[in-house]
Structure 1
Amino acid sequence: MTNYLDFEKPLAEIEGKAEELRALARTSDNMDIEAEAAALDKKAAALLRDLYKNLTPWRKCQVARHPERPHCSDYIKALFTEYTALAGDRNFADDQAVMGGLARFRDRPVMVIGHEKGSDTKSRIERNFGMARPEGYRKAIRLMQMADRFGLPVITLVDTPGAYPGKGAEERGQSEAIARSTETCLGIGVPLVSVIIGEGGSGGAVAFASADRVAMLEHSVYSVISPEGCASILWKDAEKMREAAEALRLTAQDLIRLGVADKVIPEPLGGAHRDRSTTIDSVGKAIEELLSPLDGKGRAALIKGRRQKFLRMGDKGLAA
């Protein structure tokens, strides 16, 4: 592990010390050093369990934003075969924050679309940290409409802080593009399954996740606004993000109770970034499970069911 979150600092110290001892043991025959390193490993494992036993909403936000979590490109590479990327909105440009194309999932032809944040400084800048511009949403619209024409299920992978709020994006119709993408999600006559793999921020996420079924990774978040943004608006103080995270009900567990999400996908202890392959495998199984009941449904039934799903949201309410 090279990136520890703020609340993981005690864990970082223990694991760092254990690694130092193991490095020392490789150049020494002292068995006591090995035993001490093993004892620290046990202590670190126990601390990790305690830290992740009852994460607060704000800590879940931090885990959802961890830079080493698997990103959209990782899921596409591992879960989909014959992936053929499709680029551009046929109007202005190709937005690197949104990737998508034709592929096979479990040997079944599908259209896969998702936000990509990038994995290093260069790619994060190219991908605009997963914040799509209007051309990104218009590309998604084009791909969803293509899937609709050819009868292909659509799978979306959501991981964005929100749509890009820059001047150029606003000039090119950011809000209209988001609204059209959401409308397209609701109007296509093929199965649509979405997975929140990290952050599901604002309309930028809704534009991809207005789906028949929505799954969320255990430590992902999905909200109308970021905790920092909410705190800045309500209390004029971004430092009140912890209180805002509590009030927003943005965790997967809260959203299951509200009827916004349909399934929580368990993450490995310590978050998806600690065992990427297991996380990706779990997401693949969840997608297959969510797609299965939608097979054989006609166009009208899918559109009607999706509409009813959204009209029912919030009926379950939240426990006090």
Structure 2
Amino acid sequence: MATKVVLDFEKPLFELEEKLNEMRVCLKQSSGEHNLSETESLSREIEVLESKVDALRHAIYKNLTRWQKVQLARHPERPFTLDYIYMMMQDFVELSGDRHYGDDKALIGGFARIEDEESDFSQTVMVIGHQKGRDTKSNLYRNFGMSQPEGYRKALRLMKLAEKFNKPVVTLIDTPGAYPGIKAEELGQAEAIARNLFEMAGLRVPVICVIIGEGASGGAIGIGVGNRILMAENAWYSVISPESCSSILWRSWKFKEQAAEALRLTAEDLLEQKIVDRIIPEPLGGAHHDPEKMADTVKSLLVEELRMLLEKNPDDLVNERIEKFAAMGVWNEEE
């Protein structure tokens, strides 16, 4: 059985939950022994402790710092792109290769169908996203979710294919950044990302981008130009990671928490700055506490957004997308 990953700020809650579980085991044993007085006393203690656990859980997760949200976004048990695809969609057909150099396993994509029986909605989409691994072996296979140039060129090929068949594009963003290796630079990493930005701006089909975990730098924006940008409550999205920012400004990673505060990289920050359009609420404690509930929430919002965008003509989709990104970062200086 895999060891549960507990973040530093979760340790007090974890310790209380462990104690609560031990008491429940004791209650079950005492119930079997028919010791009524001991059972009643233990039941009351458990009720009190349950209240304390619930109060502490809300106190922790409703008051997270920006750095703590970065930690949650990186949680290894958090659902990744393939998890969302299989929980939200049907008939996923993965498409491989960029038709130039190779196939990047850190960035996957293909056609899938998203359905909502309640509203009688069914739509084939091209879904594309970064894919991380769960352990050392799978992380090496997926290059830790860091795509190389062939990954972005594959993504562009798939988006153009979606445009050809008039199918919406849905991207799931979760990467610590584009791969910064020498080989990636030799193969044109910057050009591949820049080309995606240019081509995505002009796609004549609806494009919805969903930041499900980490959204770092060009690695994220390489599949992040959309009509609508949704962001998970505990995800982060920034031009640079807190550690790298700290390293540049303070010559040390020790100031990553201060850097996270200064970068204003949370969903609430970015909604206020009009960089994202909508925040996707997560189960208390993060998406990994109830992946199926999280996937249902993402699916319902995707269906809602798709319904709205599918009613628009291609020219409006392109113009709105360009205007949306052109307005980012605009500010006026008063005399």
TM-score under structure 1 normalisation? 0.95
The match for 2:172 is 157
Output the CA distance in 2 between the equivalents of 1:108 and 1:276. 23
Output the CA distance in 1 between the equivalents of 2:134 and 2:331. 38
Output the CA distance in 2 between the equivalents of 1:294 and 1:269. 30
Output the CA distance in 2 between the equivalents of 1:134 and 1:2. 35
Deviation for aligned residue 1:296? 2.8
The match for 1:53 is 62
Q: What stretches of structure 1 move > 6 A for 4+ residues in a row?
A: none
The match for 2:48 is 39
Alignment of 1:60-79 (within 5 A): 60-79=69-88
Q: Deviations over 1:145-201 (max 9, x none)?
A: 100111110000001111111122112111111111222211211000011001111
The match for 2:118 is none
Output the CA distance in 2 between the equivalents of 1:66 and 1:74. 14
Alignment of 1:205-216 (within 5 A): 205-216=220-231
Query: Does the residue aligned with 2:179 lie in a helix, a strand or coil?
Result: coil
Q: Percent identity?
A: 50
Structure 1, unmatched stretches of 5+, are: none
The match for 1:202 is 217
1:288 to 294, 299, 303: 303
1:224 to 239, 252, 255: 239
Q: Deviations over 1:64-85 (max 9, x none)?
A: 1111111111110011111100
The match for 2:26 is 24
Deviation for aligned residue 1:40? 2.4
Q: Deviations over 1:109-150 (max 9, x none)?
A: 110000111223322221111111111111101100100111
Determine whether 1:251 maps to 2:266: yes
Output the CA distance in 2 between the equivalents of 1:316 and 1:267. 32
Query: Does the residue aligned with 1:94 lie in a helix, a strand or coil?
Result: coil
The match for 2:281 is 266
Output the CA distance in 2 between the equivalents of 1:38 and 1:278. 26
Between structure 1 and structure 2, the one with the greater Rg is 2
Output the CA distance in 1 between the equivalents of 2:230 and 2:179. 24
The match for 2:123 is 108
Greater CA drift, 226-235 or 176-185: 176-185
Greater CA drift, 147-156 or 50-59: 50-59
Contact kept in structure 2, 1:259 and 1:316, CA below 8 Å: no
Output the CA distance in 2 between the equivalents of 1:199 and 1:272. 13
Contact kept in structure 2, 1:197 and 1:216, CA below 8 Å: yes
Deviation for aligned residue 1:312? 1.1
Determine whether 1:236 maps to 2:238: no
Determine whether 1:12 maps to 2:10: no
Alpha-carbon distance change, 239 to 100 in structure 1, aligned in 2, over 3 angstroms: same
Deviation for aligned residue 1:315? 4.4
Query: Does the residue aligned with 2:9 lie in a helix, a strand or coil?
Result: helix
Output the CA distance in 2 between the equivalents of 1:179 and 1:230. 22
Contact kept in structure 2, 1:228 and 1:240, CA below 8 Å: yes
Query: Does the residue aligned with 2:162 lie in a helix, a strand or coil?
Result: helix
Deviation for aligned residue 1:38? 3.8
Q: Deviations over 1:216-253 (max 9, x none)?
A: 01111100010000110111111101111111110111
Structure 2, unmatched stretches of 5+, are: 32-37, 116-121
Contact kept in structure 2, 1:97 and 1:132, CA below 8 Å: yes
Output the CA distance in 1 between the equivalents of 2:326 and 2:241. 24
TM-score under structure 2 normalisation? 0.91
Determine whether 1:180 maps to 2:178: no
| Aligned residue type for 2:207 | L
Deviation for aligned residue 1:34? 4.4
Q: Deviations over 1:12-33 (max 9, x none)?
A: 1111111222233343335244
Query: Does the residue aligned with 1:209 lie in a helix, a strand or coil?
Result: coil
